[in-house]
């Protein structure tokens, strides 16, 4: 992997390119439409600039020219009242100091294309609006991001840098590695079985206890997208212990029932003892 990057870096230097976009130019002048077509058929498209650093880099890469014609860049508009728009993704980025002084001046109300100055004066690296029919040199870019650049992510290139932005659950420089949860150990007096050999996200593990043991806690855990298990590891408790606990409770309940029953019987007996007295007393009164 390291060797590969070293090689890319080395080749990149020789070919005057960066890790991100590769720039290309022609030394044949063309109108803007032809220039763009040349870029599209030989490379990716006409150059797109999205910040000052890219502008500076491009200017440092282009050969200095004493006078016009300079280079076409991929920003244009169709009508006077439209905003300047970059080709490709409709971005309308324009830096604070991108235009040359007094530009865009729309000289003939038909200047809908833009050139970049690469002379040695104060305007070096600045933009100028021009008639699209004027012949100038094309400057193009070639995207380094390929459909296969990132396994499970989106490839993003900027100047000097190409990065894979990974989808959730994946990592690595090419998003090639699924996120994994830490290994789980067998519970005491039980075992576990997992849906996959590698504990990558979405895999589930099920805990089971040996005969004679009862599970305490959730039986299943799932590996989350951030590499964390969905819950704690359950434990296995001895069935005897559980049984004793149950038995103890049952015995206690039985005692309670027993006690109540005995109390009730005692009360009943007392009532029965009292009853004959009550029954006999009127008769004794009658007798007496
Ligand atoms: C750019 O804007 C035009 C006109 O609004 C639209 O037709 C086109 O699909 C847009 N392109 C992108 C890449 O968004
Ligand atoms: C347009 O594309 C450029 C180059 O790929 C990128 O840097 C920029 O962020 C994009 N802008 C928008 C608004 O999508
Ligand atoms: C560019 O040149 C081509 C071929 O000569 C021509 O058909 C086209 O109209 C020109 N476009 C502009 C905007 O001048
Ligand atoms: C490339 O860009 C990414 C994110 O934009 C950043 O994390 C990374 O450090 C950059 N790499 C280099 C070599 O500059
Ligand atoms: C993970 O599980 C979710 C929900 O069940 C599913 O939508 C997603 O496709 C799964 N991802 C992988 C990589 O298996």
The whole-number pLDDT of residue 275 equals 54
* Selection from 22, 121, 122, 113 nearest residue 71 by Cα: 113
* Ligand 2, pocket residues at CB < 6 Å: 48, 50, 88-89, 91
Nearest residue by C-alpha to atom 3 in ligand 2: 50
Between CA 164 and CA 123 the distance in angstroms is 36
pLDDT digits (tens, 9 = 90+) for 92-150: 999 999 999 999 988 767 889 999 999 999 999 999 999 999 999 999 999 889 888 99
The separation between CA 168 and the C-alpha centre of its own chain, rounded to angstroms, equals 4
- Between 232 and 268, where is the model more confident? 232
| Ligand closest to the CA atom of residue 74 | 2
Closest-lying ligand 3 atom to the alpha carbon of residue 31: 1
pLDDT digits (tens, 9 = 90+) for 37-84: 999 999 999 999 999 999 999 999 999 999 999 999 999 999 888 999
Between CA 261 and CA 206 the distance in angstroms is 47
Averaged pLDDT, 30-43? 96
* Selection from 26, 2, 24, 22 nearest residue 12 by Cα: 22
The whole-number pLDDT of residue 272 equals 64
CATH domain 7-142 topology: Mannose-Binding Protein A; Chain A (3.10.100)
| Ligand closest to the CA atom of residue 164 | 4
**pLDDT band of 238, cuts 50, 70, 90:** confident
Ligand 4 centre to CA of 27 (Å) is 33
Between CA 140 and CA 48 the distance in angstroms is 8
Ligand 1 centre to CA of 82 (Å) is 13
The whole-number pLDDT of residue 110 equals 80
Our answer on whether the CB atom of 9 is closer than 6 Å to any ligand 4 atom is no
Averaged pLDDT, 24-37? 96
For the chain, give the secondary structure using H, E and C: CHHHHHHHHHHHHHCCCCCCCEEEECCCCECHHHHHHHHHHHCCEECCCCCHHHHHHHHHHCCCCCCCCCEEEEEECCCCCCCCEECCCCCCCCCCCCECCCCCCCCCCCCCEEEECCCCCCCCCCEEEECCCCCEEEEEEECCCCCCCCCCEEEEEECCEEEEEECCCEECCCCCEECECCCCCCCCCEEEEECCCCCECCCEEEEEECCCEEEECCCEEEECCCCCECCCCCEEEEHHHHHHHHHHHHHHHHHHHHHHHHHHHHHHHHHHHHHHHHHHHHHHHHHC
Count of CB atoms within 10 A of residue 194's CB? 16
CATH architecture of 179-239: Ribbon (2.10)
Nearest residue by C-alpha to atom 5 in ligand 4: 163
* Domain residue ranges of the chain, discontinuous segments joined by +: 7-142, 179-239
* Selection from 232, 197, 199, 196 nearest residue 215 by Cα: 232
Q: Which of 110-119, 150-159, 234-243 has the highest mean pLDDT?
A: 110-119
pLDDT digits (tens, 9 = 90+) for 177-202: 999 999 999 999 999 999 999 999 99
Ligand 2 centre to CA of 122 (Å) is 28
pTM greater than the 0.75 cutoff: no
């Amino acid at each position: 992997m390291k060797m590969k990057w070293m090689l890319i870096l080395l080749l990149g230097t020789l070919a005057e390119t960066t890790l991100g976009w590769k720039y290309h130019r022609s030394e044949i002048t063309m109108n803007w439409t032809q220039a763009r077509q040349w870029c599209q058929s030989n490379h990716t498209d006409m150059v797109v600039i999205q910040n000052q650093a890219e502008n500076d880099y491009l200017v440092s890469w282009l050969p200095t020219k004493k006078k016009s014609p300079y280079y076409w860049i991929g920003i244009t508009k169709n009508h006077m009242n439209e905003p300047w728009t970059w080709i490709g993704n409709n971005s309308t980025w324009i830096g604070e100091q991108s235009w040359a002084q007094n530009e865009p001046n729309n000289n003939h109300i038909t200047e809908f294309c833009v050139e970049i100055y690469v002379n040695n004066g104060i305007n070096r690296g600045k933009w100028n609006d021009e008639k699209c029919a004027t012949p100038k040199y094309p400057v193009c870019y070639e995207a380094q991001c390929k459909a296969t650049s990132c396994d499970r992510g989106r490839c993003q290139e900027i100047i000097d840098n190409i990065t894979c932005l990974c989808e959730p659950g994946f990592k690595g420089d090419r998003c090639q590695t699924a996120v994994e949860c830490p290994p789980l150990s067998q519970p005491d007096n039980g075992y576990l079985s997992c849906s996959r050999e590698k504990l990558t996200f979405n895999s589930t593990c099920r805990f089971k206890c040996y005969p004679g043991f009862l599970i305490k806690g959730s039986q299943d855990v799932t590996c989350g997208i951030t590499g964390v298990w969905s819950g704690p590891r359950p434990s296995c408790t001895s069935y005897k212990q559980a049984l004793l606990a149950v038995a103890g409770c049952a015995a206690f309940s039985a005692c309670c029932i027993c006690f109540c029953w005995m109390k009730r019987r005692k009360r009943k007996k007392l009532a029965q003892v009292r009853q004959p007295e009550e029954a006999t007393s009127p008769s004794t009164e009658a007798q007496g």
